[in-house]
Amino acid sequence: MTSEELVFDFERVRVHGIGVYEGTGLDVRAVVAGLSRDVRDGFRLDEVPWGRFSHAYGSGEDVLIHLSRMRCADAAAARDARSSLGNSVCHQGTTGSVAPLTVPFLLRIAEDQAAHERVNALVLVAAVACRNHWGNGSRAALLRVADPDDEVTFDGSGYPQNWSVRAGRDAIAADAHIPIALLDDLDPGVREAAACVLAASSGRAWEVSAALHERFRVEGHPRLRAGLVLAIAQLAREHRHEDAAGFTRACWSDPARPPEVRVAAALGWLCLVDDSAPEDLRAVLDELVTPELGRLMAEVPWLRQVDSHSGAGLTLTLKHMFDPAPRPTFPGTWGKPGRFVGWGKPGRFADDPLV
């Protein structure tokens, strides 16, 4: 395919099918796979074909400007750049085709101790690499990373979001060493967001799972412990790790475990198996789900996406899981229309008293 032909044509897709672009320079999965370690480590943004792909407002050519400004010494400028970038590439639940190309560079911003937007860089990576299931806390959706391959969805330009999400997940797998190292970061917000990023990885699953388990064994923050359980379960669900159902069951059935761990493990177990909820699990939930625990777990990222407004994420998730009636979805993680705010309110991690 010549450079003149490197323009995505939805009409061509309509006639010939999306497979016409598979493996070409317009397949973002192939482009992400072709980014060398030197380009990624060297932050060589000018060697990435941004303009070949798009976001909510058109060509992705401006993405490198936002990424560059996210590294600047001025905190306000870095924050504005991150907001503009997120608003463009992950817009109202839609992942733009240029979005996965940002992942290697956002990960490197996150590992830079001098960067101002470390947490939110990881939040954006997690958003790129996980299809958003707004407000859906059901057993089928809470830990679902992406749409099935046979359910192709498209962004505003007609580009298949399945490819974009997969490319984002592949980019995480290629640089998994970065978020794995960040699981031990001094900033609890970084640790929490790193776990969410790793849970969406498309590869190196056993290595990632081992790192999440290791962090879980030493993590002292209650909310982060709950999140790690769900991260382990999500990764296992995607990669069919049969031992995860046993791990989560052992956690929720162990009275010596903290309440947030037992409840998170119960949710994870329900998402990993098709069995009906046993009476002993229901008894655990009846005993441990209190208003206090609901407030603590409302900020766990998986539950925040179910309800980021009223803080009822845990209650709604349990209702969705035990009530088979379909539930409408709503933009629970995006705030005002068109404005990317990560998993909750703007500045959530900066203001949240995690320590």
* pLDDT at residue 337, rounded to an integer: 29
User: What CA–CA distance (Å, rounded) separates 273 from 242?
Assistant: 10
Q: Binning pLDDT at 50, 70 and 90, where does residue 193 land?
A: very high
Tell whether the model's pLDDT for residue 347 goes beyond 80.
no
Whether residues 110 and 240 fall in one domain: no
Whether residues 243 and 311 fall in one domain: yes
Tell whether the model's pLDDT for residue 104 goes beyond 70.
yes
Whether residues 46 and 162 fall in one domain: yes
Whether residues 75 and 99 fall in one domain: yes
Within-domain flag for 89: yes
User: Across residues 118-134, what is the average pLDDT?
Assistant: 90
User: Across residues 273-277, what is the average pLDDT?
Assistant: 94
Within-domain flag for 30: yes
Q: Binning pLDDT at 50, 70 and 90, where does residue 330 land?
A: very low
Whether residues 168 and 297 fall in one domain: no
The domain in which residue 157 lies consists of 1-128+152-187
Which is more confidently placed, 5 or 236? 236
Whether residues 213 and 282 fall in one domain: yes
Whether residues 242 and 173 fall in one domain: no
Within-domain flag for 336: no
Helix spans in the chain (H) = 10-16, 28-33, 37-41, 63-69, 75-89, 103-111, 118-128, 161-174, 177-182, 188-199, 205-218, 222-239, 243-252, 259-272, 279-288, 291-297, 301-304, 313-322, 348-351
Whether residues 33 and 118 fall in one domain: yes
Within-domain flag for 355: no
Within-domain flag for 183: yes
Within-domain flag for 192: no
Within-domain flag for 349: no
User: What CA–CA distance (Å, rounded) separates 116 from 96?
Assistant: 24
Whether residues 162 and 245 fall in one domain: no
Which is more confidently placed, 333 or 32? 32
Tell whether the model's pLDDT for residue 27 goes beyond 60.
yes
User: Across residues 84-89, what is the average pLDDT?
Assistant: 94
The total of structural domains in the chain comes to 2
* pLDDT at residue 341, rounded to an integer: 34
* pLDDT at residue 5, rounded to an integer: 58
User: What CA–CA distance (Å, rounded) separates 20 from 16?
Assistant: 6
Q: Binning pLDDT at 50, 70 and 90, where does residue 332 land?
A: very low
Q: 187 is written with which tokens?
A: 């900033």
Whether residues 248 and 166 fall in one domain: no
Q: What is the pLDDT of residues 286-324, one digit of tens each?
A: 999 999 999 999 999 999 999 888 889 999 999 999 986
Whether residues 182 and 105 fall in one domain: yes
Whether residues 177 and 69 fall in one domain: yes
Tell whether the model's pLDDT for residue 154 goes beyond 80.
yes
User: What CA–CA distance (Å, rounded) separates 183 from 212?
Assistant: 8
Within-domain flag for 340: no
Q: Binning pLDDT at 50, 70 and 90, where does residue 94 land?
A: confident
User: Across residues 220-232, what is the average pLDDT?
Assistant: 98
* pLDDT at residue 132, rounded to an integer: 72
